[in-house]
A = this chain, B = another copy of it.
Amino acid sequence: MSADRYERVMLAAVDGPTGLAVVEGLAKSFPDFARYIVEFPFGDIYARKGLGLRERELATVAALCALGHALPQLRVHAHAALHVGCSPSEVVEVVMQMAVYAGFPAALNGLAVVREVFAESGIALPVGSD
């Protein structure tokens, strides 16, 4: 398997169909950038040892929610977190926790994304922990 194929397979394994669709849509208009987004994040970072995939996705959900301007990417990674085995409660907890560090608006906008992702995934709200 070529290095490139390996990275695409890994992207599919991590992010699931939502992430793969983003990259494929991107590749039509910006093919080199579609390659970079597979190579650096997935070929270099997510493939590293030293941190589990579940922890990587929870950290990404935290950062994307805290940044405030990254809601389309939060949507992809909320799906990805569920895809690698995070529980719905874990995803909700991370987003709620962002109220402490990035303020209530960032957390509220993040929870609105989580609600959509859970509806698409057939996950009922409220989850057990909340």
Instruction: List chain A positions with a Cβ less than 8 A from chain B.
Output: 22, 26, 28-33, 36-37, 39-41, 44-46, 48-51, 55-56, 58-70, 72-73, 87, 89-90, 92-94, 96-109, 111, 115, 125-130
Give min CB distance, A71 to chain B, whole Å.
Answer: 8
A59 nearest CB neighbor, chain B only: B62
| Chain A interface helix/strand/loop/mixed | helix
Please indicate the chain B residues that have their CB under 8 angstroms from the CB of A59 in the complex: 58-59, 61-62, 94, 97
- Shortest beta-carbon distance from A77 to chain B in Å: 9
19 CB contacts below 8 A, A to B, read A30-B111, A33-B107, A36-B40, A37-B99, A40-B40, A40-B44, A46-B97, A50-B127, A50-B130, A59-B62, A59-B94, A62-B63, A63-B66, A67-B101, A68-B70, A70-B101, A72-B105, A72-B109, A103-B103
Asked whether A40 lies within 8 Å of B103 as measured between CB atoms, the reply is no
> Is the pair B130, A30 in contact by a Cβ cutoff of 8 Å?
yes
Cβ-closest chain B residue relative to A100: B41
Bound complex: CA A16 to CA B105 (Å): 18
**Within the complex, which residue of B51, B65, B69, B127 is in contact with A109, where a contact is CB–CB below 8 Å?**
B69
